[in-house]
Amino acid sequence: MPDPSTYRPAPGTIPDGPGVYRFRDPSGRVVYVGKAKSLRQRLHSYFGDLAALHPRTQQMVTTAGSVEWTVVANEVEALQLEYAWIKEYDPRFNVRYRDDKSYPYLAVTISDEFPRALVYRGPRRKGVRYFGPYAHAWAIRETVDLMLRAFPMRTCSSGVFRRAERSGRPCLLGYIGKCAAPCVGRVSAEEHRALVEGFCDFVAGRTGPVLKRLEREMRSAAAAQDYERAARLRDDLGALTRALERSAVVLPDATDADVVAVAEDDLEAAVQVFHVRGGRVRGQRGFVTERVEDLGTGDLVEHLLQQLYGGEGADVVPREVLVPALPPDQAALERWLAERRGSAVSVRVPQRGDKRALLDTVTRNAVQSLGLHKLRRAGDLSARSRALAELQEALDLPVAPLRIEAFDISNLQGTEVVASMVVFEDGLARKSEYRRFAVKGAVGADGVARTDDVASMREVVGRRFRRYLDEREQSSDLDLGDAETAGDPGPGAPPRDKGGRPRRFAYAPNLLLVDGGAAQVAAAQAALDELGIDDVSLVGLAKRLEEVWRPGSPDPVILPRTSEGLYLLQRVRDEAHRFAIAYHRSKRSKSMTSSALDDVPGVGPARRALLLRHFGSLKRLRAASAEEIASLPGFGEATARAVVSALAASERPTPAVNPATGEIMDDDGAAPGSSGQPEEEST
């Protein structure tokens, strides 16, 4: 692994101006391309304290073996050169957007003598005008079929066109009036091009003049008693109206914009782009990218716009680009887009109105796209098999982790502390095995109950595996007849009850995953050691840097970003977090609507809702004075004093601690859970 200090440029050799730089690995391959307003400041940031760099940046600078740069005149030139080099070298550490599907375009071959309309996928070609992208090819074909009544332009292939020329007979579309049949000379090249220009204007969103012209011609034909032509124009007008109805009208007719939204997590980002032309959504496209670089949303947007408009014709750059976050070099990006379009381009974040509502819609599509991408990846059997094999090898497990249990703690400033346990078997969620825990609090040596994350993790893991040992012990009490009645599953199988059903906590996981770093892992390991359990592998996944911690290890395990094993651990961890949050919110909601106010005279549902809405929580309401409550509309002094008295009477007393055992005592002096039955709740 190269040491960045070995190829660090000498002080004073880096120019202090805009430019583009390239990191190369020892074999000379470009691994990263970047731009900067000041090359000196940017490059110095890579060669500081290695431990202070983001892990992805650490991996890049330790992979590279040299750095070089090119000075340019301004930021726009830097943007252009950065894009050109990214396209040329395809560096592994730069963001790469991948289409989540191949989107079709409506293409018109303008450069041909008799232009043709067709559905097209693939790289852009000169002399062809493109419209779209569209979500489905059949949507293009249906729209074109409706429009051919008013604009009967050519849609046939070159082979069909040449055969018709040789035979002197048009194809079927020429006979039914959906093609002007230039192949047999029914119209001249100029007349056919006029049809093509009208077709392109209509598809591009300039629909008003076309519809008004057809309506004028229809009325003129009717006034001249040319009813056959008037009926044909009426049908053409109806076909174009139906074609328009297929496009959702979302913004004023003059709006020409692309709406971009991003949904992201620690490893991947999904992007959705809606193309609005003439106030209508003409098409959409989606991308999924791996977050190889340490980029914010604005940086992702900048890289996306470079790739979206860099390789395409200037006619596809809209007047306005609506984004969820502004790129860091907004002015330079707008100038670059304006050069490609030939006129001013605005990049902005909509704050209100119809454009903000449309951005919210596109954002929902991006969130759904990311979810579907992860679901498809999770449902891939071969990917799950690779993930389990990678985890076994990377974590040095004795067997593949076919059953993974994950724990997470959720609380709000130490209140309503809860925990979750989720189970994945063969890489898939086993929701029937999920469990929830109401954390009671571990008592320290000073006799104080603690509910911080570390103490809570130790308590919950201990409760889960204490239940595991209890059910193992209870299973050994079954006599042979009961086992035979239930169907003895053989040695090594989990214990079952008398009905033959596996006990809830009787399965031991192959891998125990806790949400957190070294402290949480140490707490979980301490709980296992107390119970004498030494056959369960334990790791922790630290969220900020996605590091995998093992008990007693001073350094974490860093799994590759492309690792299916890391993706599986993240999915399990995120599911445990989601399940814990849901339980915590339900308990918090119940506590906020506590019955402490139910019996207060003069305080009904409306006033209770007003109190909780104004103070935000029952804790803040308890701390409020009678004067603060009386200042609310509908509350008098007597009612306010009644509320304060009721809340004071309902406060829980501080739990007593048994000095001999250190256990928290109930009101009757008994320790909760002394029956050996923890207070777990199933889903």
CATH 3.30.420.10 assigned to 256-376: yes
Does 54 score more than 70 pLDDT? yes
First CA to last CA distance, the chain: 48
Q: What is the pLDDT of residues 173-213, one digit of tens each?
A: 888 888 888 998 888 988 899 888 888 877 776 666 777 77
> 322 forms bridges with which residues in the sheet?
259, 348
Polymer length of the chain:
683
% of the chain at pLDDT higher than 70 = 78
Q: How confident is the model at residue 482 (pLDDT cuts 50, 70, 90)?
A: very low
Question: What's the pLDDT score for residue 590?
Answer: 58
Q: What is the pLDDT of residues 414-428, one digit of tens each?
A: 667 888 899 998 788
Does 244 score more than 90 pLDDT? no
Does 378 score more than 50 pLDDT? yes
Does 21 score more than 90 pLDDT? yes
- Residue intervals in the chain for CATH 3.30.420.10: 256-376
Question: What's the pLDDT score for residue 491?
Answer: 40
Q: How confident is the model at residue 538 (pLDDT cuts 50, 70, 90)?
A: very high
Q: What is the pLDDT of residues 305-342, one digit of tens each?
A: 887 887 654 447 888 999 999 988 888 888 888 888 88
- Residue intervals in the chain for CATH 3.40.1440.10: 4-76
Question: What's the pLDDT score for residue 673?
Answer: 35
For the domain with range 4-76, which CATH number is right: 1.20.1250.20, 3.30.1150.10, 3.40.1440.10, 3.10.20.30? Answer: 3.40.1440.10
Q: What does the block give as tokens for 147?
A: 């429009």
Position with higher pLDDT, 491 vs 264: 264
Architecture of the 593-651 domain: Orthogonal Bundle (1.10)
Q: How confident is the model at residue 502 (pLDDT cuts 50, 70, 90)?
A: low
Does 489 score more than 60 pLDDT? no
Mean pLDDT of the region 85-89? 80
Q: What does the block give as tokens for 533?
A: 């359990």
Q: What does the block give as tokens for 231?
A: 């009926």
Mean pLDDT of the region 266-273? 80
Architecture of the 385-574 domain: 2-Layer Sandwich (3.30)
- Residue intervals in the chain for CATH 3.30.420.340: 385-574
Return d(Cα 404, Cα 570) in angstroms, integer.
Answer: 12
Question: What's the pLDDT score for residue 242?
Answer: 63
Does 78 score more than 80 pLDDT? yes
Question: What's the pLDDT score for residue 67?
Answer: 92
Q: How confident is the model at residue 170 (pLDDT cuts 50, 70, 90)?
A: confident
Q: Could you tell me the sign of the dihedral formed by the alpha carbons of 426, 428, 431, 436, in that order? A: positive
Does 520 score more than 60 pLDDT? yes
Q: What is the pLDDT of residues 543-583, one digit of tens each?
A: 767 788 888 888 888 888 778 888 888 888 888 888 888 88
**What are the DSSP calls for 472-536, one per residue?**
HHHHTTS-HHHHHHH----TTSPPB-TTSPBPTT-PPPSEEEEESSHHHHHHHHHHHHHHT--SS
Does 584 score more than 80 pLDDT? no
Mean pLDDT, all residues of the chain: 77
- Residue intervals in the chain for CATH 1.10.150.20: 593-651
Burial 340-372 (b: 16+ CB within 10 A, else e): bbeeebebeebeeeebeebbeebbebbbebbee
